[in-house]
Amino acid sequence: MENDIFDYAFEDLIPDEIGGKHFNLIRQIKPAIFEDFLLAKTARSSCLSCGSDKLFIPHTVVHPEDPDSEDYSENDEVIYVTPQYESSKHFRVYTTRYEICCMNCGFVFQYLAHPVVRWAMVNKGVTGELI
């Protein structure tokens, strides 16, 4: 499965206290953790529509410094699976989804974030408060 980089801005997301805690959990779900979750659940590794194995996980890369600066280091980047959520509501892990996209036909799989986060808290050391 491939990963691709998507810019994803949360300027419009002003979380309340619970939303902030949930967002901190979401930011810990790296593409490799999501892939491990899918393997543990024996999810399909090919497109449900066309059967292609060319899938990718949209993810966010946050650069704490300008990537063109001399002090820039990739080790400082924060990378996490890009969450899809309803921006008109408060951010909650229970109403957030993760996607996998087929590079061949464009079909999109959706997974609720809550089971992924709950599994990662037990199996991958993701820490935080799931209220």
Cα separation, 87 vs 63, in Å, equals 23
Report the chain's terminal Cα–Cα distance, integer Å. Answer: 32
| Nearest in space to 28 (alpha carbons), one of 89, 98, 108 | 98
Q: What is the pTM of this model?
A: 0.81
- What is residue 20's predicted lDDT score, i.e. its pLDDT? 87
Give me the average pLDDT of each 10-residue run along the chain (131 residues).
Answer: 46 68 93 97 96 96 74 77 84 93 97 97 94 80
Q: What's the pLDDT tens digit per position in 84-117? A: 987 767 889 999 999 999 999 999 999 999 999 9
Residue 26's SS3 state is helix
